[in-house]
Amino acid sequence: MDRSSRKVLVTGGSRGLGFAIAKRLSEDGAQVVICGRDQSKLDLAVAELLSRSAFAHGIVADLSRRADVDMLFDRTLELLGGLDCLIVNSGHAPYGTIETLSDRDWDQSYEMLLMSAVRLSRAAARLMKASDLGGDIVYLTTTGVHEATDHRLVSNVMRAGIAIVAKHLADSLSGSGVRVNVVAPGYFDTGRVRRRIEDLMVNEGLDRPSATGRVATANPLGRIGAADELAELVAFIVGDRARYLNGTTITIDGGSSRLVT
């Protein structure tokens, strides 16, 4: 397949890891649609994508709302005239334990993290299966699918579900040329992690390297990841050089998780 004009949807692509992936795929010439809840952030992101590729578009959609998820998929098809590659990424689930998380926290996280992934990838899989071009579906999850950290309980539960959906989909799309994979990140310098570093700087008077070092505890590389490093992995996964890679989860965390996979 000619990857230079691929039609790609990156959900949650206005900032952070999603944006880094959208940028990296745009550099290869992909036509990219991104989504997020904030039009102004989407506009900024799209402007940067357009400096790399001939086509980029942002759609305001809240992944925790089913109607928005359906609208996002339909509108993406209208804009791109098809879909070769779906990158499923989203926002953060609330921190908390079984004691502190409310039913509302669970319900919202279920909709935003798990059901949006199910609905989008089901629609994409149908479409890709019906075409003879194949395609790629990549889910972003977390190393928490391997290591059950207490405070990320709800995120880990939903992400474990996504890993199962991915495995199921890889099997059920057998013979269609569609590959389905999962990327499980450790700590990256985006979103909530960046805010945590900045909080440590303000509240504990640490400089940035020390605050980052605190977050990167027990990371053999001694630092957290840069979003571009994760984007490079995703570009490889959806590229032709990874054509035998399917139905798997790749951890990218600088070596910090203790599980041998």
Ligand X SMILES: NC(=O)c1ccc[n+]([C@@H]2O[C@H](COP(=O)([O-])OP(=O)(O)OC[C@H]3O[C@@H](n4cnc5c(N)ncnc54)[C@H](OP(=O)(O)O)[C@@H]3O)[C@@H](O)[C@H]2O)c1
* Binding letters toward ligand X, positions 106-145, x by CB under 6 A: ------x---------------------------x-x---
Q: Binding segment for ligand X among 74-82, 188-196, 199-207, 237-245 (CB under 6 A)?
A: 188-196
Report the alpha-carbon distance of residue 163 to residue 113 in Å, rounded: 12
Q: Are 256 and 186 in contact (CB under 8 A)?
A: yes
Between residue 44 and residue 103, which ones bind ligand X under the rule CB under 6 A?
61-64, 89-92
Residue 167 interacting with ligand X (CB under 6 A):
no
Residue 17 interacting with ligand X (CB under 6 A):
yes
Residue 256 interacting with ligand X (CB under 6 A):
no
Report the alpha-carbon distance of residue 135 to residue 176 in Å, rounded: 9
Residue 166: name the closest of 238, 246, 65, 236 by CA: 246
Backbone φ/ψ region at 115: left (φ over 0), alpha (ψ -120 to 50), beta = alpha
Report the alpha-carbon distance of residue 28 to residue 236 in Å, rounded: 11
* Binding letters toward ligand X, positions 191-230, x by CB under 6 A: x-x-------------------------------------
User: Contact with ligand X (CB under 6 A): which of 5, 28, 37, 101?
Assistant: 37
Q: Which is nearer to ligand X, 17 or 124 (CB)?
A: 17
C-alpha torsion 72→159→163→111, nearest 10: -40
Report the alpha-carbon distance of residue 21 to residue 49 in Å, rounded: 11
User: Contact with ligand X (CB under 6 A): which of 6, 18, 219, 257?
Assistant: 18
- Chain residues in the site for ligand X (CB under 6 A): 12-18, 35-38, 41, 61-64, 89-92, 112, 140, 142, 155, 185, 187-188, 190-191, 193
